[in-house]
Structure 1
Amino acid sequence: MTNYRIERASDADSLARKASETIAAQISLVLDQRDRCRIALSGGSTPAKAYSLLGQEHLPWDRVDVFLGDERWVAADDPSSNARMLRNTLFAEGPGASAMFHAVPTVELPDADASADAFAQLLTTICPGTPPVFDLILLGLGDDGHTASLFPGTEAPTIVDRWATVGRGKGLDRITLTAPVLSAAYQVMFLVSGAGKRQALEQLLDPAGSVDLTPAKLVQPASTVVVFADDPALNAS
């Protein structure tokens, strides 16, 4: 059974600060022990503030390999591109700009399936282990219970023999890490903000909750999962 630890914040701004500080501390801890730190980050609007703060942290960023947990199959300059969001936040200016970013290949390849295959190969080149192991993965949680691009009722959550696959949901093909890779990370964190995520968060934390309805529950690392959540998401005042 997966263990969760809640890190509560009063609002979205406090949540972003707490998440960025914790991620920075984890990166520093890893780099005290190993030459490189490999992290995968969530896209979406919720973590953008945290990434802007994280990019100002004085860390040896040139020893950090940054991946995305999922990416829409769009050009890198498309407004919906997660890579574009990272370039405008974590890598925009300051120390974080010197990190090594391994973007998901997208429209430069013939189709989304080819992109998923190329991304899986990239993972095996950079990250040790079978499945590839990240030092830290930060995930979001959709109001429908998805994480990365593992959407309920689609094929992607069922894929266990590949490290990346195509997640088809909300009108766009997406390249996503699969559940075995998400579960292999040394440290997994979720970032959850807003009242709209309340029910999905309850399902994630419920030991009896269904993985079919809440694919985020498929993320089952050996270590305790840290959940950063603000009061609206936790139904607290």
Structure 2
Amino acid sequence: MTRYRLQTSPDKAALAHAAAAAMAAVIRNAATRQPRCVMALAGGSTPEAAYGHLGQEDLPWERVELVLGDERWVDVQDPASNARMVRHRLLSGSRAHRARLHPVATHLPNPEAAARAYGDLLQTLCPGQPPRLDLALLGLGDDGHTASLFPGTAAVNVEDEWVTVGLGKGLPRVSMTAPLLSAARQVIILVAGAAKRQALERLLDPQEDPARTPAKLVAPKGEVLVLCDEAAVSVG
């Protein structure tokens, strides 16, 4: 059974600082034992705010490899692109500019080709079966999805690939699969806002069906750190 450790911040601003501190700790710890740190980043407004703080940290950024937990099938300059957001919020004009971002190749002919290429890239960056990320930073949708593993879609059932094609909110997406995310040395899930209360309750419920809440499919051997704000925590 997956173990969740809940850490609550007073509000979204404090949550962003807590998330940045947790990511910085992963980088520092990785630097003591290996040549590089491979981190899978999430999209969304809460991670975006955290990246702004993280980029100011004095860290061995030249040894950090950044990948994306998922990406919408859009041009890299599209406002909906996670790669674009990471470049603007984390890498531009900050100490983190020395880190290397590996975007999903959305210039390829189709999402399937991009998923295969991204799986090959991950196998090169962090060899293993599955590849072992140092960090998987994830969000939690109000429908229980994480990365682009949406309820009722084929992506949630993929167990023989590290990257697959998902469909969410009308857009094709390239997404890491549950087995890959579960193999990460550290999994952190960010949850903010009252709209996420029910999804967070379901995530923490041992009886919850992962088919309804795919975030539960991310089940590492160690604990999952859940960073949330007070608005996301149910009262009463």
TM category, shorter: over 0.9
Structure 2 CA distance, aligned partners of 1:165 and 1:67? 15
What amino acid is the match of 1:75? Answer: D
Structure 2 counterpart SS, 1:166: strand
Which residue of structure 2 lines up, in the alignment, with residue 29 of structure 1? 29
Q: Against the structure 1 CA distance between its residues 162 and 129, is the aligned structure 2 distance closer, same or farther, given a 3 Å change threshold?
A: same
> How much has 1:35 moved relative to structure 2?
1.0
Which residue of structure 2 lines up, in the alignment, with residue 82 of structure 1? 82
Structure 2 CA distance, aligned partners of 1:222 and 1:236? 29
Contiguous gaps of at least 5 residues in structure 1: none
Structure 2 CA distance, aligned partners of 1:165 and 1:104? 12
Which residue of structure 2 lines up, in the alignment, with residue 203 of structure 1? 202
> How much has 1:34 moved relative to structure 2?
1.0
Which residue of structure 1 lines up, in the alignment, with residue 129 of structure 2? 130
- CA offsets per residue over residues 43-102 of structure 1, 9 Å max, x none? 112211100100110001000010010000100000000001101111111211110111
Q: Against the structure 1 CA distance between its residues 154 and 58, is the aligned structure 2 distance closer, same or farther, given a 3 Å change threshold?
A: same
Which residue of structure 1 lines up, in the alignment, with residue 93 of structure 2? 93
> How much has 1:14 moved relative to structure 2?
0.2
Structure 2 CA distance, aligned partners of 1:205 and 1:5? 10
Q: Does 1:5 align with 2:5?
A: yes
Q: Does 1:64 align with 2:39?
A: no
Structure 1 CA distance, aligned partners of 2:105 and 2:126? 17
Contiguous gaps of at least 5 residues in structure 2: none
Structure 2 CA distance, aligned partners of 1:95 and 1:201? 33
Structure 1 CA distance, aligned partners of 2:127 and 2:31? 16
Alignment of 1:113-128 (within 5 A): 113-128=112-127
Alignment of 1:1-237 (within 5 A): 1-106=1-106, 108-236=107-235
Preserved CA contact (<8 Å) 2:148 2:174: yes
Give the number of aligned pairs. 236
Dislocated runs of 4+, deviation >6 Å: none
Preserved CA contact (<8 Å) 2:134 2:186: yes
TM-score normalized by the length of structure 1 = 0.98
Q: Against the structure 1 CA distance between its residues 197 and 140, is the aligned structure 2 distance closer, same or farther, given a 3 Å change threshold?
A: same
- CA offsets per residue over residues 157-179 of structure 1, 9 Å max, x none? 00000010001110100000000
Preserved CA contact (<8 Å) 2:201 2:234: no
Structure 1 counterpart SS, 2:117: helix
> How much has 1:236 moved relative to structure 2?
4.9
Preserved CA contact (<8 Å) 2:77 2:84: yes
